[in-house]
Structure 1
Amino acid sequence: MSNMRLFVKITRESLPQVKDKYPFIFLERGRLEIDDSSLKWLDADGNIIRLPVATLNTILLGPGTSVTHEAIKTAASSNCSICWVGEDSLLFYAAGIQPTASTRNFRRQAILSCNKKNSLEIARRMFNYRFPEVDLSAKSLKEMMGMEGSRVRALYQERAQKYGVGWKGRNFTPGKMELSDTTNKILTSANAALYGIICSSVHAMGYSPHLGFIHSGSPLPFVYDLADLYKEYLCIDLAFALTLEMAGMYNKELVSARFRERVIKFNLLAKISKDIPNLLGVDNVNSDSE
């Protein structure tokens, strides 16, 4: 009789994989609640929008939002992460931790991060993404971080010259975004949105954002490790291209739209779902065996 049932119990295997989901939606000034065991959004103007929660990787809740207990439960059961962010994803405040069927990936990450030799080897793999032609086998973490710093500074200058944008360096004061120039505003906003997406993906795959291999002494070191793999196109190139397009006038709606377009074109979620296992040497992220 089970094959005659109208409603079939959802299993972890039947849910969309991280790589198959829509990256994220940003909500502000409204209420997130449930409607017939699904999610609905009630905005400040009284509009009601039903959300396909099973096909969303993460929901970014901005200023002026509230969420019900049942809505959080529904999102968790659909493997949809919830992140609390600032204006237009400008600041990343917190992320809900989803219950996962297995702690296999978290345990492996913890073991690797606590072993200096293994941790350094994974750091080298991450830097190898950006320096594929360089032999990093004898490089220390400090040396590789120095190489990366020089690469990023040169990248800023190269993009500034390419798009004809004035550049005085990376500058951002937390809580005082208005003091930054247009390019720095876009960089900060795009970086924060990228952190939110990566953090939700890391949680969804059963890893921890708090155990990194390059960064340390920060709230989300593993997220920052991964973000550096993707910032060149998603954040840096975007910032200089948009500065030229906006003629120096910051437009948060345009930043959000262009960033979302690039995330989808770049196929970010598919890359994350492949890159993390490759970097950590995990063959099957869904396996419970050890």
Structure 2
Amino acid sequence: MKDYAGARKPELLELPRVDDRITFVYVEHAKINRQDSAITVTDSRGVARVPAAMVSVLMLGPGTEITHRAMELIGDTGTSVIWVGERGVRLYAHGRALTRSSRLLERQAKLVSNRLSRLAVARKMYQLRFPNEDVSNLTMQQLRGREGARIRRVYREYSKRFGVKWARREYDPSDFESGSLINQALSAANVALYGLVYSVITAIGLAPGLGFIHTSHELSFVYDIADLYKAATSILVAFEVASQTGPEEDIGRKVRLKMRDAFVDGRIIKAIVKDTQYLLDVDDEPADEEKVDIIHLWDDKSELVKYGVNYSKFN
């Protein structure tokens, strides 16, 4: 068999942890290829090299072409890939994650499958938004009411602070331009946040669709986690950028750049990892079996037995 040219596939332990990576890179109207351990982005302005292992999520917008070799590298380095609409507004599809263990996924599934444990996690999510209040005895209906009032208050405060007129959240996912400037900014900012949250939770081995507050959607858990940070990131950035942007400017691009800065300045990746571990009550450090490829077989008596053994001789 002919040897492959280029860098070898890295071992899992050689890859940067998810909280050590930069947040996201958005690409549109360009061709993505591979050169050694970097992906190359070629457009009308020239060629840029991006170290794939240092990126949490690669957002591919309209007019983007990507080669098989580039996707091979992205898969090897555990970089999440999402395909988005124009200006990063809609999420169409996504790629694989970094982790090779199902430990956290099993924990998430166990908690979400029991009504009492699911309620406990949901309350913890709301408690993070109301740190000075005790919400342990509130019903989900009461918690939703509190959250709705909080978000309305946030909109009013930012509207007054940045001098941006605010009426209500109103947008058409299929027509970005139809929304007001502030609603366009909010849409672009929220998608950037969703993309980052998706990349982090999948990288640490969790299911985007198993939500505790949101449900019935493939990104329910993404929305659960993203809601913890909207007030301090996407809503804040949207109002700030809208106050500085004219109707002829590309507000989507300006929002994405500002969101990237906000993610870095606010150390959002580390916060997502820490808060998610707190919500699911899991250890900060990964277990030894998560650092290498290990697979077991389930057993109704011993729970786990060795994989790769022919058990016919034991019958």
Q: Answer whether TM exceeds 0.5 for this pair.
A: yes
TM-score computed with the length of structure 2 as normaliser: 0.85
Higher helix share: 1
CA contact (8 A) 2:61 2:85 kept: yes
Deviation for aligned residue 1:69: 2.2
- 1:6-25 equivalence runs, <5 A: 10-25=10-25
Aligned twin of 2:94: 95
Q: State whether structure 2 residue 222 is matched by structure 1 residue 256.
A: no
Q: Choose 1 or 2 for highest CA Rg.
A: 2
Aligned twin of 1:42: 42
Q: State whether structure 2 residue 172 is matched by structure 1 residue 173.
A: yes
User: How has the CA–CA distance of structure 1 residues 153 and 275 changed in structure 2, closer, same or farther, with 3 Å as cutoff?
Assistant: same
Deviation for aligned residue 1:16: 0.7
Q: State whether structure 2 residue 29 is matched by structure 1 residue 29.
A: yes
Q: Distance in 1 between matches of 2:84 and 2:112?
A: 28
- Structure 2 alignment gaps of length 5 or more: 1-6, 291-303, 305-315
Deviation for aligned residue 1:64: 0.6
Q: Secondary structure at the match of 1:246?
A: coil
Aligned twin of 1:209: 208
- 1:62-101 equivalence runs, <5 A: 62-98=61-97, 100-101=99-100
Deviations 1:50-81 (A, max 9, x none): 21011111111110112222221211111111
Q: Distance in 2 between matches of 1:107 and 1:19?
A: 22
CA contact (8 A) 2:184 2:252 kept: no
Q: Secondary structure at the match of 1:230?
A: coil
Write the letter of the residue equivalent to 1:210: G
Q: Distance in 1 between matches of 2:247 and 2:38?
A: 42
CA contact (8 A) 1:19 1:270 kept: yes
Q: Secondary structure at the match of 1:156?
A: helix
User: How has the CA–CA distance of structure 1 residues 241 and 98 changed in structure 2, closer, same or farther, with 3 Å as cutoff?
Assistant: closer
How many residues matched? 283
Aligned twin of 1:266: 266
Q: Secondary structure at the match of 2:228?
A: helix
Deviation for aligned residue 1:197: 0.8
Per mean C-alpha deviation after superposition, the further-off stretch among 217-226 and 45-54 is 45-54
Write the letter of the residue equivalent to 1:147: R
CA contact (8 A) 1:34 1:71 kept: yes
Write the letter of the residue equivalent to 1:216: T
Q: Distance in 2 between matches of 1:183 and 1:159?
A: 11
Write the letter of the residue equivalent to 1:190: A
Q: Distance in 2 between matches of 1:224 and 1:191?
A: 10
Q: Distance in 2 between matches of 1:241 and 1:201?
A: 26
Q: Distance in 1 between matches of 2:186 and 2:92?
A: 18
Q: Secondary structure at the match of 2:227?
A: helix
Deviation for aligned residue 1:37: 4.8
Q: State whether structure 2 residue 186 is matched by structure 1 residue 192.
A: no
- 1:115-130 equivalence runs, <5 A: 115-130=114-129
Deviation for aligned residue 1:279: 0.9
CA contact (8 A) 1:182 1:249 kept: no
Q: Secondary structure at the match of 1:57?
A: strand
Over aligned residue pairs, what C-alpha RMSD do you find? 1.9
Per mean C-alpha deviation after superposition, the further-off stretch among 250-259 and 108-117 is 250-259
Deviation for aligned residue 1:41: 1.9
Deviations 1:2-30 (A, max 9, x none): xxxxx887322221111110111111112
TM-score computed with the length of structure 1 as normaliser: 0.91
CA contact (8 A) 1:95 1:199 kept: no
1 or 2 for the larger relative contact order (CA 8 Å, sep ≥6)? 1
CA contact (8 A) 1:277 1:285 kept: no
